[in-house]
Amino acid sequence: MASIPTYTAQGVNVRPRTPSHISVPESGLAEAGAAIGQIGKVAAEHAGYLQNQKDTIDFQFMRSQLDANLQNTKLNLQNDPEIYDTPDSFVKKFGEQARDAITVVTENSKASDYAKNLFRNYAVMRLPEQLVRAKAEGRTLFAKNEVQRLDNLKEVMSDDAVNAETSQDRVKVMGAFTEEVTKATPRSLDPAHAADKIYDFEQLVAEKTGRKLANGTEDQRETWRELARTGKTGIKNTDTIQRISNMAQIKEEHIDRKTKQVMADANKIMMGYSFGLAMYGQLPDSFIEDVAQQKIPGLTPQEGLHLKEVNDNAPLSGATLEVRNIITEMATRPGQVTLQRVEEAKANLRTIMMQNGRSSKEIETQSKGLEALGLHLRSVQAAEMQAGMHLGEELLKASRTPSIIPGIPAHMEANKFNQMMSELKVWRMKNPTASNDEIAKKTIELRNQKFGDPNKPKSESDKKLQNLMGQ
């Protein structure tokens, strides 16, 4: 069996030697024993090395768990409401939870006792440093929260100061905010920042007061204008003063437009009411005189003259209930007013005139109106007739497929097309109220009659004829 070589400090390979007082025979058994002992020693050294590596890895893993736990603890404590009021409670709670974390990490680990002891020693040595940092972070967090609280108070208390009923109440609110800033000065604010907080609050109150005056009544806007003229707004920023002044101007312009609109609406209502009475000749002379003297709001003297003229020549003063019912019935019957309705109303007015044996101004007025309405409806009907006819012609032209073969096929196609156009005109004259859809259907019907339905299979003779006509 080969022996394990041994090297000296000079790098020389020598055989293992036994002490000189032990007599060992030069044999293979001695060499084998030495080799086995050397292998066992190497194996033990490797086993120890692997254990050290495992302990190191377990230790590092427990450290990372602890670091993550402590960081998460700090994040959670930042949202703890108790920390908001008492800064020292941050380090207290952090210390308690840090100790619990050390215990939890140790108990949940499957590392060796050596690695756990190594971790405990590390955690105990690091904890004081962590507590010092936690104390500083707790005070920083408290200062941040306190500054944020002052910012929130600034908005709320500035509204209270602006809406205070008396100047004394306003001074009290201003003083209360200054007191809050003073309390925070040793802990969270240095004197310079504290002064800035108070200054910003005073400017915010002054600006909100200006905005309230600018959007208020006319007296309040005038108060703002006076403060701006005398430089007593309390606002240091000139751009802000100008912006609020512009706001007051826009407010006045809006109110002026709204007032004019209200007056215009009132004028329409008054004019409509007065004109209705004048149409029946029932407008009192005293009312017309009051309009002429500008005693009636919303009506001008010129409008008064117009009302007087209408009242003196009231077109409805002699109207009877029967005449008005005829016109109302024609206008309110379901559907559109047609020429037939107009002719019926004219006939009914003529019947009333013949029954009474005389005409009246009302009958004459309504007859003229019906005649004008009839002419209008005839012109509309003629326009619709022309438009419908034009639509039909265009549809037929669009569906036309002229023959590409000259001579008889081309003449036959042209004759059929002209016949379609003639039949369409006749049909349109008989159906003056036909809709566009009905016109379109009629053109399709005529096209299919003359040239056949393109969607139906054709017979052999039709196909030959179609080929002959070039369609």
Mean pLDDT over residues 173-185, rounded?
Answer: 86
Tell me how many degrees the CA angle 38-43-47 measures, rounded to the nearest 5: 150
Q: How far apart are CA 134 and CA 80, in angstroms?
A: 14
pLDDT at 69: 81
Mean pLDDT over residues 429-453, rounded?
Answer: 74
In sequence order, what are the beta bridge partners of 14?
6
- Selected residue with higher pLDDT from 12 and 80: 80
Token code pair at residue 389:
């006819």
Q: Is the pLDDT of residue 21 over 50?
A: no
Q: Is the pLDDT of residue 61 over 80?
A: yes
pLDDT tens-digit profile of 314-324?
A: 666 554 567 76
Q: How far apart are CA 454 and CA 372, in angstroms?
A: 48
Mean pLDDT over residues 37-48, rounded?
Answer: 59
How far is C-alpha 165 from the chain's CA centre?
Answer: 38
Average model confidence (pLDDT) across the chain: 75
pLDDT at 365: 72
User: How do the domains of the chain map onto residue ranges?
Assistant: 43-188, 215-317, 318-390, 400-471
- Selected residue with higher pLDDT from 338 and 88: 338
Instruction: Band the pLDDT of 3: cuts 50, 70, 90.
Output: very low
pLDDT at 204: 92
Mean pLDDT over residues 243-271, rounded?
Answer: 82
Token code pair at residue 390:
């034009």
How far is C-alpha 104 from the chain's CA centre?
Answer: 50
- Selected residue with higher pLDDT from 124 and 80: 124
303, 346 contact by CB (below 8 A): no
Select the highest-mean-pLDDT range: 57-61, 219-223, 299-303, 397-401.
219-223
pLDDT at 254: 87
Select the highest-mean-pLDDT range: 90-94, 172-176, 263-267, 457-461.
172-176
174, 205 contact by CB (below 8 A): yes
* DSSP-assigned letter for residue 455: T
| Least confident segment among 57-71, 81-95, 195-209, 298-312 | 81-95
Instruction: Band the pLDDT of 7: cuts 50, 70, 90.
Output: very low
pLDDT at 344: 83
pLDDT at 141: 66
Sign of CA dihedral 257, 260, 266, 269: negative
Mean pLDDT over residues 331-344, rounded?
Answer: 78
Mean pLDDT over residues 22-36, rounded?
Answer: 56
Q: For the chain, how many residues are written?
A: 471
Q: Is the pLDDT of residue 429 over 50?
A: yes
pLDDT at 312: 67
Token code pair at residue 266:
């009132």
- Selected residue with higher pLDDT from 265 and 404: 265
Gyration radius (Cα) of the chain, Å:
54
- Which amino acid appears at position 184 of this protein? A
